[in-house]
Amino acid sequence: MPEGDTIYRTARTLRRALLGSQVTVWETTVPQLRGQEHRLVGQTVTEVEPRGKHLLIWFAPARLALHSHMRMTGSWHLYRPGQRWRKPARLARVVLEVPEWTAVCFAAPICEVLSRAQVDRHPSLTALGPDALASTTDLAEARRRLDLRAGWAIGEALLDQRVLAGVGNVYKNEVLFIHRVDPWRRVGEVPPAVRDALLATAERLLKTNVRPGTTARITTTGGGGSGNRVAVYGKARRPCPRCGTPIRLAAQGSQGRQTYWCPRCQAPGPSRTGVARGGP
């Protein structure tokens, strides 16, 4: 699933291509969106807005938004007119053309056209926690929401978009490693200062990775060069960069999210068994 920084960069790329342009072609394979051409063709793109892992493309004067969520499979691509697509056309959910660009949303499970009022009361959007990539992130509110999940495993709570929107599985794994926290430890057993540090580090890393010119994901190790700069994510059975103990991998939560950790640096807390499960 794309993390918040990926959606932010996608929005920035789409904004540069689409902002201020009129829609000339609208096509969709989403049954609920068929017949919407009259509402969108001729409209002007006024904003491309990321909200956590959600993306909204706004149109005027109709005050409509195309809301998409990538989940595990979706992606947005940009092409010049006539350019060959990098994915099969059968995977295209929405095709949005302006005079100089074609924007294609591939394989996104959620694509819907909403009015401003519908956006303002959309259950998934209104439930989001503070956005880690907003210009100012309310970490105190994120901490309050995290504390409400005292019985959850911290690894599950950090993925709950109602706590801090934009944090995904890579960042969950990395910030827990940075702060030496067992992913299965109950939120209520994590020291308050460490809870604050987890949220602050997630915000810092996400914002670092959307700076203009940043091409590599910078997480634990930092520095220049290419490729993912991660300590534990995707490194099962490889030595821990701190102590050399083999990194472990297990599925966590109702969605079975891949969780990587060092069993020595992130020693199990007292509640490794019987930890409350998080919500969907």
Catalytic residues: 2-3, 53, 257
For the chain, state the CA radius of gyration. Answer: 20
**Sign of the Cα pseudo-torsion (159, 153, 190, 240, in order):** negative
Burial of 51 (0-12, 13-18, 19+ CB in 10 A): buried
Phi-psi region of 181 (alpha: psi -120 to 50; beta: other; left: phi over 0): beta
Q: Which residues contact 93 (CB under 8 A, 6 or more apart)?
A: 28, 29, 30, 68, 74, 105, 106, 107, 108, 111
Cα separations in angstroms, 23 against 43, 59, 97, 116, 119: 6, 9, 6, 19, 21
Look up residue 79 and give its two tokens.
Answer: 């092409």
Complete DSSP assignment for 128-141: ---BTTSSS--HHH
Alpha-carbon gap, residue 130 to 137, rounded angstroms? 6
Q: Please return the burial class of 279, using the count of CB atoms within 10 Å of its CB with bins 0-12, 13-18 and 19+.
A: exposed
Tell me the HSE value of 146 on the side-chain side, using a 13 A CA sphere.
32
